[in-house]
Structure 1
Amino acid sequence: MANVLFSIIWLIILIFIAFWIAGIAAGFYILILPFTVCIEPLSGLTDFLLQVVQFPKYCAEAMMEGRGF
């Protein structure tokens, strides 16, 4: 029963939090990525933003597995 509960919690996180955060991060990622060619230290920021954009995938995997926090 705990797996079903965790899956529902992950679904709620996916819909109400992960999609919004990933969408905002994707916009910044697209804007900043071309500047990493000229400004090398920005590559760390773009790597972080890419991980944030992939947060919905993490939530979906956790939801399907019924994984806890």
Structure 2
Amino acid sequence: MVRVLTIFLAAATVLTATGCADMTARQRNTAIGAGVGGLAGAALIGGPGATLGGAALGGLVGNVSTR
């Protein structure tokens, strides 16, 4: 079971990375910020509301921090 999950996550990561190849710096930073914010919200507080809130805030920070 763990092996199947690992293979699935690796494939998802590769497919996601290829989709980001032609993004601008602002789009890339927004996506990274949303991912990190969502992960932080889920880890620190838990629940779907915290995950969505963290993703929204992280995406905003990633968007604004781009020069």
Tell me if TM exceeds 0.5: no
TM-score, normalised to structure 1's length? 0.37
Give the TM-score taking structure 2 as reference length: 0.38
